[in-house]
Each structure stands twice: as structure tokens, then as C-alpha cells.
């Protein structure tokens, strides 16, 4: 219904994790299997912080949960590292899946989104969002508002990185946010607006709250003018 720079390939930051989740689920690996966080999962690109400590053991399901809901980078790294053939094979599968979905401008080099070499166009990301929306676990994990894990004797509480999930004005089925300096603030949504499934993609927003404000503006426009009725 509206697009701007729809076919321009840009860094996508943690929107990458939607493809990470899709590859994990389509591999049909044991979701109850325990994965261990190691020093190999440290962020050596941006040196970002993480509350997921080395030697923490979580199920594959828990790793996927916090990777999608809270954009936990060490969890996403552990998921890729524990794929058959390791991270290199995982990234190859990410790119193969992108090609299968017709994402012609997309390229992945790692599973977290910390690298600015992970790029895609808005049109490509819309295809990815429609593909992942078919998976109930991705829908649930990406939209959960809170989730806690156990690290040793302590509980660590995680919260959704997208404040729109707490808004009563939104009916969100899938969401993911992302940020690195090269990508700006990014967000994708699969939401119901006026009773219709709607995909929104926002890349390279500059202010901390601008992507949510843009999404609210688009939802208001769709609700007011009902562009589906045209033509």
C-alpha cells in the first residue's frame, strides 16, 4: 500500500534473528536439548553487553525465546554454533533459505545481526515476515512480554524489546526490533489492522522512539483511510 526504498539493501541488525529462528525450526533439532554459552558467543564485533553468562545451560527453546523476544545476541550465537556443521553451515543455510523465499537483495554473514554485512531490502524482509508468521513458536516468542531464565541459583528476567507489544491498541502476531549504528533503529511487524493482516517494515530510523512512532502513524493512517477499499 505504501513503500519507500523498498528494494534498497541495507543493514538489518537484529532483524537477522527472524531468519535465525526460521533455520533453527526448519532443521527440526531437539528443542529441549541443553546448549551451553561459551566464550565463542561473545560479541567481538560491537563488544555489546549481555546478561547471559558463560557456562549458562539453557534449552534450545529457551535460547530461541530470549533471542526473539529480547534480542539476546549470545543466545542467537549459541543457536548457530550448535547447528549441524556449526556456524558456517548455519549461515549457509540462512542464505539458502533467503534465496528460496525470493529475497534477492539479502545476504547474511552471521546469525545475530551484529555485523553490518547482514543486509536486506524492505521488500525482502516483508517476505521473511510472512514466512515466519506461519510458525506458532516464532509468533509466541517474538510477542511475549516477559520471560525468565535460571542461571545458577538466580533467575534472570528478560523483557520484550518492542514496547508496542504492551499496547492495547496493537494486535501483533510477529515482531522484531534491531539496532546497530550502521542500521539505525529497525523494526518489522505482522499485525492485524482493521481486521486485515498487515506487514510493516521500518529501517534506519534515527531516534530511539521514532520506529514505534512511525508504526503508530501507519496504523492510524490505515485505520482512518482504509486503503484496502480502494481500487
Give the span between the Cα atoms of 229 and 28, in whole angstroms.
41
- Here the cell at position 201 is 517494515
- Here the cell at position 63 is 535460547
To the query of whether residue 116 is one of the catalytic residues in this protein, the response is no
Query: 75 and 60 in contact (C-beta within 8 Å)?
Result: no
Residue of 34, 49, 50, 71 marked active site = 71
To the query of whether residue 71 is one of the catalytic residues in this protein, the response is yes
To the query of whether residue 17 is one of the catalytic residues in this protein, the response is yes
Provide long-range contacts, Cβ within 8 A and 24+ apart, for 158-161: 158/51, 158/66, 158/69, 158/70, 158/72, 159/69, 159/70, 160/69, 160/70, 161/69, 161/70, 161/71
Residue of 14, 77, 121, 161 marked active site = 14
Q: Which residues are catalytic?
A: 14, 17, 71
Amino acid at each position: 500500500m505504501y513503500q519507500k526504498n523498498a528494494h534498497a539493501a541495507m543493514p538489518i541488525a537484529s532483524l537477522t534473528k527472524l531468519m535465525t529462528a526460521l533455520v533453527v525450526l526448519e532443521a527440526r533439532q531437539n528443542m529441549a536439548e541443553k546448549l551451553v554459552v561459551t566464550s565463542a558467543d561473545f560479541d567481538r564485533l560491537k563488544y555489546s553487553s549481555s546478561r547471559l553468562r558463560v557456562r549458562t545451560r539453557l534449552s534450545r527453546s529457551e535460547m530461541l525465546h530470549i533471542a526473539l523476544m529480547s534480542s539476546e545476541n549470545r543466545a542467537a550465537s549459541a543457536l548457530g554454533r550448535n547447528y549441524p556443521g556449526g556456524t558456517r553451515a548455519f549461515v549457509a543455510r540462512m542464505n539458502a533459505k533467503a534465496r528460496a523465499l525470493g529475497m534477492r537483495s539479502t545476504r547474511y554473514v552471521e546469525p545475530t545481526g551484529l555485523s553490518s554485512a547482514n543486509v536486506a531490502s524492505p521488500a525482502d524482509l516483508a517476505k521473511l515476515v510472512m514466512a515466519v508468521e506461519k510458525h506458532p513458536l516464532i509468533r509466541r516468542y517474538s510477542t511475549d512480554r516477559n520471560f525468565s531464565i535460571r542461571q545458577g541459583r538466580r533467575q534472570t528476567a528478560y523483557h520484550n524489546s518492542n514496547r508496542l507489544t504492551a499496547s492495547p491498541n496493537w494486535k501483533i502476531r510477529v515482531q522484531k526490533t534491531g539496532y546497530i549504528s550502521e542500521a539505525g533503529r529497525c523494526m518489522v511487524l505482522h499485525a492485524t489492522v482493521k481486521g486485515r493482516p498487515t506487514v510493516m517494515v521500518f529501517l534506519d530510523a534515527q531516534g530511539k522512539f521514532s520506529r514505534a512512532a512511525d508504526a503508530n502513524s501507519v496504523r492510524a493512517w490505515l485505520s482512518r483511510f482504509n486503503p484496502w477499499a480502494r481500487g
